[in-house]
Amino acid sequence: MTDRLAHRILGDPPADIVFCHGLLGRGANLTTIAKGLLPHSSLLLDLPNHGRSGWTSAFDYLDMADAVAAEITRSCDAPVTLVGHSMGGKVAMLTALGHPDTVARLCVIDISPRASDVRPRFEPLLTALRAMDLTTLRDRADADARLARAVPDAATRAFLLQNLQHSGSGWRWQPNLDLLADELPAIGGWPELGLPPNTCPVTWIRGERSPYVSDQDLPVMRDCFPNVRLLTVPGAGHWVHADAPQVVVQAIADLLAEPVEDLSRP
């Protein structure tokens, strides 16, 4: 993966916080959190096959982590505080493990360093998006109405429809929907690297109503990141940063205050 990742910097460069979004998201989804952390400057990445970034022929977490590390090196004053949600949380963890010199602190939102089945949540969404006939689409209101049958929750539809872009005289989806649908097992997976743990400060945030982080995952997380603190957000689901943005902002602000003198691996 050689293409640069599309990104936006919020605040004055160079950025000292970098955000990695989740599946079917884009960097702009984390804007509210980034604004809450000003005057810290944030780099909002579009991960491969999402947003304005390029498409690939396969899904590979290690390639994505390499791309994130390269973008940090080019665009930031490394090491940075790296924040990742869901799929982006796995990318962030693998970046910290594979490129420890680029990450001073890590915040992982609602995902664990293990394989998890994402198909029940995301397969229906991808099916609904792929089934929409964009050639007959009139406007966004029409898209929302068509999507409502398969996706009755208005907030979820709004999240998905951010990916719908007007292109020339027609419409297109920014994410590589066909690849993402085919690669859901890989997206839910976790590559075993055999790398030493990273001892940087880590804040691990989970939503109380989300199934993606269990108490049984804590020993696995500590094997990768011994200096981890788990925060459970009451009432929040998988999109914790949308359900409780102020809590997430405060958690990252607290993480930014953590000393990072000892970044060496044991």
87-104 tens-digit pLDDT: 999 999 999 999 999 999
Band the pLDDT of 163: cuts 50, 70, 90: very high
Number of structural domains the chain divides into: 2
Q: Do 97 and 145 have their domain in common?
A: no
39 pLDDT above the threshold of 90: yes
**CB 5 within 8 Å of CB 71:** yes
What was the pLDDT predicted at 263?
Answer: 44
What was the pLDDT predicted at 23?
Answer: 98
**CB 19 within 8 Å of CB 34:** yes
Cβ burial, residue 223 (10 Å; 0-12/13-18/19+): exposed
**CB 120 within 8 Å of CB 94:** no
Note whether residue 263 is domain-resident.
Answer: no
What was the pLDDT predicted at 169?
Answer: 81
Catalytic residue among 53, 75, 86, 210: 86
Assigned token pair, 225: 């990141």
What was the pLDDT predicted at 99?
Answer: 97
Q: Look over the chain and give the mean of its residue pLDDT values, rounded to a whole number.
A: 94
Band the pLDDT of 29: cuts 50, 70, 90: very high
Indicate if 210 belongs to the active site: no
Q: Do 140 and 210 have their domain in common?
A: no
What is the span of the domain harbouring residue 106? 7-116+189-256
Q: Do 162 and 212 have their domain in common?
A: no
Catalytic residue among 178, 214, 223, 264: 178
Output the pTM of the full model: 0.95
Indicate if 60 belongs to the active site: no
**CB 160 within 8 Å of CB 24:** yes
Average pLDDT over residues 3-7: 89
Which run of H or E residues covers position 228? strand 228-233
What was the pLDDT predicted at 264?
Answer: 42
Which among 156, 184, 212 is the end of a domain?
Answer: 184
Which among 184, 205, 239 is the end of a domain?
Answer: 184
Catalytic residue among 21, 50, 238, 241: 238
Indicate if 214 belongs to the active site: no
Pairing mode of beta strands 170-173, 76-85: unpaired
Which run of H or E residues covers position 65? helix 61-75
pLDDT digits 0-9 by tens, 194-226: 889 999 999 999 999 999 999 999 999 999 999
CA 129/CA 52 separation, integer angstroms: 18
Q: Do 131 and 103 have their domain in common?
A: no
